[in-house]
Amino acid sequence: MTGASTDVSADASTDVVVEARNLQRTYDIRRGMFRAPAHLRAVGDISFRIERGRTLAVVGESGCGKSTLARMVALIEKPTAGQLTLVNADAVDTPQDRKRELRQAVQLVFQNPYGSLNPRKKISAVLEDPLAINTTLGKAERAARARDMLARVGLRPEYANRYPHMFSGGQRQRIAIARALMLSPRLLVADEPVSALDVSIQAQVLNLLADLQAELGLAYLFISHDLGVVRHIAHDVLVMYLGHAVEQGPKARIFARPLHPYTQALLASTPGLSSQRIVLKGELPSPLNPPTGCVFNTRCPHVAPRCREERPLLRMLDERQVACHFAEQFLEGAPVVRADVPMAATA
């Protein structure tokens, strides 16, 4: 769509837009002058793949590593370990000139569209600046494309002359989406893009994202803590807990029969999704001091001694991957309630 210098969009030999393999991100936290820094593992070991026209939703509580993952996939932050491939190119160890191209292939949309739009810039500048920096298009053509993009996201072209404060939250998020699309990316990373919006407006923005995806073949990495939202937009789901994937696979499988106790609890706490009610006790443990064994064991209603000793790895079961020692028993329908351990023991 923007032509010049966005030719990464033309070389797709497969439909896979992004692939992450064992992505990790650790932060070194200083603890005073004389102590060695502590290592905070924000993202443990995440792998996924998103194809053209598909949406992977990443869900989990605040602090589980969603935004860190988003920043790595959007090439804002380097992984500590692991591989990231974007439009068939290595996106971690890439020469600078190639990285510039890759940076156009992935764009980020944030939760707070007001914070991410410069209040002193007219919408025309917000939309045209990426073209001015990254393409050889002339002024008239840049303006034409900005107006065209406004129409695409459901706004009137004459809004180009206004400033961000003149718009509602939903309109501002449409503008942020328009800006993200100016360089014809292949992948949109959206970090809680509707969480700050009223429910009625949320649905409109989600519909817009779905329409744009159908029209442009975009891949989405969609971050949300809200399974009600995820239900509308996702094809695949990755459930994160304390930096780790505890369950991931097709949305339909996971929503129909969640096999990880954490997924079960998340679904049960989302209005309208489940008749079951599971209240998770306790707080999310500190990622500076994660539980041994299964990361979820301090809050799991089904915890057994094995869970405190042995970390369950992701394995394929019922067309999704799940990391729970007792997942087979959940699949058989018998809830594993252990009388020998206190329910939801807290750390």
Ligand X SMILES: Nc1ncnc2c1ncn2[C@@H]1O[C@H](COP(=O)(O)OP(=O)(O)O)[C@@H](O)[C@H]1O
DSSP string, 175-199: HHHHHHHTT--SEEEEESTTTTS-H
As beta bridge partners, residue 245 has 240
Q: Which is nearer to ligand X, 104 or 298 (CB)?
A: 298
Check residue 176 for interaction with ligand X (CB under 6 A).
no
Check residue 63 for interaction with ligand X (CB under 6 A).
yes
The helix or strand, by DSSP H or E, that contains position 130, with its residue range, turns out to be: helix 123-134
Q: Name the amino acid, one letter, at 203.
A: A
Q: Quote the CA–CA distance of 119 and 286 in Å, as a whole number.
A: 36
Check residue 40 for interaction with ligand X (CB under 6 A).
yes
Where does this chain touch ligand X (CB under 6 A) — which range of 62-70, 251-259, 271-279, 332-340? 62-70
Q: Which is nearer to ligand X, 42 or 160 (CB)?
A: 42
Per-position x/- string for 221-240, each x denoting binding to Mg ion as judged by CB under 5 A, each - no binding: --------------------
As beta bridge partners, residue 317 has 320
Where does this chain touch ligand X (CB under 6 A) — which range of 60-68, 90-98, 152-160, 179-187? 60-68
42 binds, among ligand X, Mg ion, none (CB under 5 to 8 A by kind): ligand X
Name the residue with tokens 């290595």.
90
Check residue 68 for interaction with ligand X (CB under 6 A).
yes
202 binds, among ligand X, Mg ion, none (CB under 5 to 8 A by kind): none
Q: Which of 139, 119, 120, 115 is nearest to 129 (CA)?
A: 139
Q: Which residue is nearest to Mg ion (CB)?
A: 67
Q: Quote the CA–CA distance of 80 and 99 in Å, as a whole number.
A: 18
Check residue 68 for interaction with Mg ion (CB under 5 A).
no
Q: Which is nearer to ligand X, 68 or 263 (CB)?
A: 68
Q: How far is the CB of 40 from ligand X (least distance, A)?
A: 5
Q: Can you tell me which of 2, 26, 67, 124 binds Mg ion, judged by CB under 5 A?
A: 67
Neighbour order of strands in the sheet with 38-51: 38-51, 16-29, 81-86, 89-90
| Beta-strand pair 16-29/81-86 | antiparallel
Q: Which residues does 132 contact at the CB level (< 8 Å), separation at least 6?
A: 142
Q: Quote the CA–CA distance of 37 and 14 in Å, as a whole number.
A: 43
Q: Which residues does 177 contact at the CB level (< 8 Å), separation at least 6?
A: 109, 153, 188, 193, 205, 208, 209, 212
- C-alpha 288 chain-centroid distance: 22
Q: How far is the CB of 77 from ligand X (least distance, A)?
A: 8
Q: Which residues does 215 contact at the CB level (< 8 Å), separation at least 6?
A: none
Where does this chain touch ligand X (CB under 6 A) — which range of 65-73, 78-86, 258-266, 268-276? 65-73
**In whole angstroms, how far apart are CA 308 and each of 65, 157, 158, 301?**
22, 58, 60, 13
Check residue 195 for interaction with ligand X (CB under 6 A).
no
Check residue 238 for interaction with ligand X (CB under 6 A).
no
Q: How many residues touch ligand X (CB under 6 A)?
A: 12
Per-position x/- string for 258-297, each x denoting binding to ligand X as judged by CB under 6 A, each - no binding: -----------------------------x----------
Where does this chain touch ligand X (CB under 6 A) — which range of 57-65, 86-94, 167-175, 308-316? 57-65
List residues binding ligand X (CB under 6 A).
27, 40, 42, 60, 62-68, 287
List residues binding Mg ion (CB under 5 A).
66-67
